[in-house]
Chains A and B, each alone.
Chain A
Amino acid sequence: HVQLVESGGGVVQPGGSLRLSCAASGFSFSTYGMHWVRQAPGKGLEWVAVISYDANNKYYAESVEGRFTISRDNSKNTLFLQMNSLRPEDTAVYYCAKRIAVDLWGIDYWGQGILVSVSS
């Protein structure tokens, strides 16, 4: 069955950097696009970024454009999110999620989430 396991979260000071990882298993990782979605404490879901199956296409939410970079290593079935110039408003649980199909933007599986806290 599909498993997505995030790691790399923690507490970081404003202006700092953090790199999240997501280990995928149970499906052919190299043939699916992947998303990052976040959820601030007590708030709703906010899409962050998406990457195509071959990493040739990447798209970002305006709120993270230029600060965050999504990438993947298909040889290791792993998704990444490099987060730079972090702000307090980036504090959230970050979920990696599997894209349902190459021609659809929907999500069909979610990881359990990892907490990122930006605070001095």
Chain B
Amino acid sequence: SPELTQPPSVSVSPGQTAKITCSGDALTNQFSFWHQQKPGQAPVLVIFKDTERPSGIPERFSGSSSGTTVTLTISGVQAEDEADYYCQSADTSGPYVLFGGGTKLTV
């Protein structure tokens, strides 16, 4: 069945750049969305339609897409960015909405 693959963990020092990848065939014809989830909290959308940033999300968050891989980039990582990050996309042949397994970002 269709799936999205993320690295389980990424670790960076404060001020560095973190890159989190998400791979899957569905990404060739469906947009990606990235959600940040801090412990004990609901997820929050940080990137939509591959590259767009919702209002209120810091400019250090950006997204890119190439073929079957999308990437969430956090430039100048801050301690408050430590969280789990999930990519989301779709497969219109079912199961319709896909989530990656999540990446734990450690700062």
| A105, A109, A112, A113: residue with the most chain B Cβ atoms closer than 10 Å | A105
Task: Report Cα–Cα, A107/B43, bound state, in Å.
Answer: 10
Q: How far is the CB of B3 from chain A (nearest CB, A)?
A: 12
- Which range holds the interface residue count of chain B? 20 to 34
Contact at B42–A108, with CB atoms within 8 Å? no
Which residues of A (62-120) have their CB < 8 Å from a CB of B? 62, 95, 100, 104-113
B90 located at the interface, meaning its Cβ lies under 8 Å from any Cβ of chain A in the complex: yes
- Which range holds the interface residue count of chain A? 20 to 34
- Contacts of B19 on A, CB cut-off 8 Å? none
With A44-B86, A44-B99, A44-B102 known as contacts, the answer to whether A110 contacts B42 (CB < 8 A) is: yes
- Contacts of B13 on A, CB cut-off 8 Å? none
Among B28-36, B65-73, B75-83, which stretch is in contact with chain A?
B28-36
Contact at A110–B43, with CB atoms within 8 Å? yes
- Contacts of A59 on B, CB cut-off 8 Å? 94, 96
Contact at A105–B45, with CB atoms within 8 Å? no
Contact at A45–B102, with CB atoms within 8 Å? yes
Contact at A104–B31, with CB atoms within 8 Å? yes
- 19 examples of A-B residue contacts, CB within 8 angstroms: A37-B97, A44-B99, A44-B100, A44-B101, A44-B102, A45-B86, A46-B99, A50-B97, A62-B94, A95-B43, A105-B96, A106-B31, A106-B90, A107-B33, A107-B35, A109-B45, A110-B43, A112-B42, A113-B42
Interfacial residues, chain A to chain B (CB-CB below 8 A):
35, 37, 44-47, 50, 59, 61-62, 95, 100, 104-113
